[in-house]
Amino acid sequence: MVIPAKAKGFQRNISDTDPLSIVVNGQKRVLFGNDALTTEGADPNAFLFGYGTSTTPVEIGTTAGKFMSFYMKNSSTTSAEGLYLRNYQGGAGSSGECLRAFSTVSDVAAGNSYGIHASLSFGTSGTVTGLGCAGRFTLHVPSSGAMAGTVTAVQAEIWSDAATSDPAGATTISFFRAVVSGDTDGDDDVLTDAVLFDLSDIGASGGIWTDATSNAADEFLKVKTPSGIRYLILSDSTTFA
């Protein structure tokens, strides 16, 4: 299909009080921003949708806000996804990411910054009858069992940008940080009930977990180290001779 040079899609000049919206069957489906921008940004070189580049991003100035905002509610009794993305790798040797979240502190002393922040809340009385996860990562092993390379459900990585990347000035730097936060009374109760790891469904003894009651230790957890497979010793007692 040949598209005239002056008619690539549609364009409409709008004001803050007259944003562009798309209406389908009498219902407004999409609203395109109604707040002013400091910098409009550059063309994104995207196939479907987007705006701004790493050198010329879309920018807001004095007022904080959300660049994209969707508040959704599923009132049915079946499953619904707020946002569903699926990327198929169809070329041998290709690389790709279904979702890439990258937050940069642009040479300022920011208060807080998160590459990605996922939450699960329950209102005041909500519950789940099955599994509730703030973040869930599932690694699929194909039915053929034909896997190669290094695969993992989760990788925690600390990346050094340069030879001078010395984190000595950080208060702490870690691969994992476990924090109990929130109400000062409520977090005391959580500390009483919570565990660091839940390995209830890890499988039979002799795999990742081993029941070793006949040895000096009670149990072992299998881990891989630079020297090979090693075992973390576990005990059912908090008292040691």
More confident of the two residues 23 and 151: 151
Question: CA nearest 218: which of 231, 206, 236?
Answer: 236
Question: CA nearest 37: which of 56, 63, 18, 11?
Answer: 63
More confident of the two residues 235 and 100: 100
What are the beta bridge partners of residue 233?
220
pLDDT in tens, 54-92: 899 999 887 778 888 899 999 999 999 999 999 999 999
pLDDT > 50? residue 22 = yes
What are the beta bridge partners of residue 32?
20
pLDDT in tens, 181-230: 999 999 999 999 999 999 888 877 878 888 876 666 788 899 999 999 99
Residue 84 contacts residue 74 (beta carbons within 8 Å):
no
Q: Quote the percentage of the chain above a pLDDT of 90.
A: 56
Lowest mean pLDDT among 33-37, 42-46, 198-202: 33-37
Look over the chain and give the mean of its residue pLDDT values, rounded to a whole number.
86
More confident of the two residues 22 and 113: 113
Residue 113: CB partners within 8 Å, gap ≥ 6? Answer: 103, 105
